Amino acid sequence: RQIKTDDAHDPGLLSFDPAFTATASCRSAITYIDGDAGVLRYRGYPIDTLAENSSFLEVAYLLMNGDLPNADQLSEFEHTITHHTFVHQNVKKFMEGFHHDAHPMGMLVGTLGALSTFYPEAKNFREPLNRRLQMARLIAKIPTLAAYASRHARGLPYVYPDNDLSYAGNFLSMMWKMSEPKYDPDPILEKALDVLLILHADHEQNCSTNAMRAVGSSHVDPYSAAAAATAALYGPLHGGANEQVLKMLREIGDVKQIPSYVDRVKKGEFRLMGFGHRVYKNYDPRARVVRQIAEDVFKVTGLNPLLEVAVELERIALEDEYFVKKKLYPNVDFYTGIIYEAMGFPAEMFTVLFAIGRMPGWLAQWEEGLLDAEQKIARPRQLYTGHAERAYPPLNDRP
């Protein structure tokens, strides 16, 4: 809606678009989505091609630099990331200070923000090498913080990064290693996790990326902006949905319960978690790849009994007029939770895994915003609906 205003400070015409459904908040050359056709491309490459052929760090390089790396560039980038996986010893003290049952997303938001105090030079991010160093640190350290948060909740000692392992392999080691000398990740699970990270690496102006850009537009350091993005991701309507999907599948419990559950959704009692998307009005292309990964993972871990419930729920929903009419399809989160659970991750870690994958996208978008000369501080206007000027009543005269 376009609204004429009579406020002297207004430009005269305002668009009222509270959830940005029809407003481009920025220009971007990073990720392309055609929601009607179910297309997702990073820097021009279809998501399924990248999932099949690239590693997560290769995709991170692509998002941040615009082109795929050659062999030398990739090996230098991998070396840089590996070099920064350790966190300052005092970060452990932050972790230890959290309550034993603290949610790992809360711990991640707190410790990512705290990193800004360890790297005060990060505020000079206009200098390209300095900026790239902070970006590498964030990609390198988020798995370490994430694994520490999980081990804290499980009452286990922290495991230092193993820089001989791949990005995904090292994360699995920090999560699950119980004895010396080394953790040997299962190659199928390591590959599956790497691909899941690729699928989550960017998704244009989603809620958390918008938070990263908006907070970053105040020229705060990238650690603080990444903490804000992580907080946005935490919500159940965004990254928190994968955790909610698993809760929902457990609550349904048995395929026989699906029809009555779907009826309650249709009555508006609650939403079908992992279904629907602001942009996709077709099958989410990431959800297709996730289904393939599920098959690989279950060959190693054994079948997750909730898979049967999920498959049947999808089938029933996709044939139901309510979902068809509203163009509600499974999104990326519908199957990821079942896979993560089969891999042994506690449900509270699902959104954390999403955050690890999304970090390169947040950073690429943050940098793109900073380098865009027309990108000013994000500062939307409002439609004021409150009182006109009122006379101030003394305390004793108030009703």
List of residues contacting ligand ACO (CB under 6 A) = 237-239, 241, 265, 271-278, 326, 328, 331-333
**Contact in structure between 253 and 310 (CB atoms under 8 Å):** no
| Cα–Cα separations (whole angstroms), residue 270 to 169, 207, 256, 322 | 38, 21, 19, 14
Beta bridge partners of 34: 39
Q: Give the DSSP per-residue string, 139-172.
A: HHHHHHHHHHHHHHHHT-------TTS-HHHHHH
Distance CA 379, CA 392 (A): 30
**Minimum separation from the CB atom of position 204 to ligand ACO (A):** 12
Of 91 and 364, the one with the shorter C-beta distance to ligand ACO is 364
Instruction: Verify whether residue 79 is a known catalytic residue.
Output: no
Of 189 and 287, the one with the shorter C-beta distance to ligand ACO is 287
Of 92 and 238, the one with the shorter C-beta distance to ligand ACO is 238
Q: Give the DSSP per-residue string, 221-242.
A: -HHHHHHHHHHHHHSTTTTTHH
**Contact in structure between 11 and 4 (CB atoms under 8 Å):** no
Instruction: Verify whether residue 277 is a known catalytic residue.
Output: yes
Of 24 and 395, the one with the shorter C-beta distance to ligand ACO is 24
**Minimum separation from the CB atom of position 262 to ligand ACO (A):** 9
**Minimum separation from the CB atom of position 32 to ligand ACO (A):** 17
Amino acid at 333: D
Distance CA 116, CA 122 (A): 7
Of 81 and 226, the one with the shorter C-beta distance to ligand ACO is 226
**Minimum separation from the CB atom of position 5 to ligand ACO (A):** 26
Amino acid at 64: M
Whose tokens are 């690890």? That residue is: 356
Of 166 and 209, the one with the shorter C-beta distance to ligand ACO is 209
**Minimum separation from the CB atom of position 316 to ligand ACO (A):** 13
Catalytic residue among 186, 238, 296, 320: 238
Burial 273-286 (b: 16+ CB within 10 A, else e): bbbbbebbeeebbb
**Minimum separation from the CB atom of position 207 to ligand ACO (A):** 7
Of 3 and 237, the one with the shorter C-beta distance to ligand ACO is 237
Of 110 and 239, the one with the shorter C-beta distance to ligand ACO is 239
Q: Give the DSSP per-residue string, 261-307.
A: HHHHHHTTSS--TTB--SS-SS--HHHHHHHHHHHHHHHHH---THH
Q: 114: which 2 tokens?
A: 């705290």
User: Which residue's CB comes closest to ligand ACO?
Assistant: 276
| Burial status of residue 229 (CB atoms within 10 A of its CB: 0-12, 13-18, 19 or more) | buried
Catalytic residue among 152, 200, 203, 277: 277
Instruction: Verify whether residue 333 is a known catalytic residue.
Output: yes
**Minimum separation from the CB atom of position 59 to ligand ACO (A):** 17
Q: Find, among 88, 133, 135, the residue nearest to 114 by Cα.
A: 88
Radius of gyration (Cα) for the chain, nearest Å?
23
Catalytic residue among 194, 202, 284, 333: 333
**Minimum separation from the CB atom of position 285 to ligand ACO (A):** 13
Active site members = 238, 277, 333
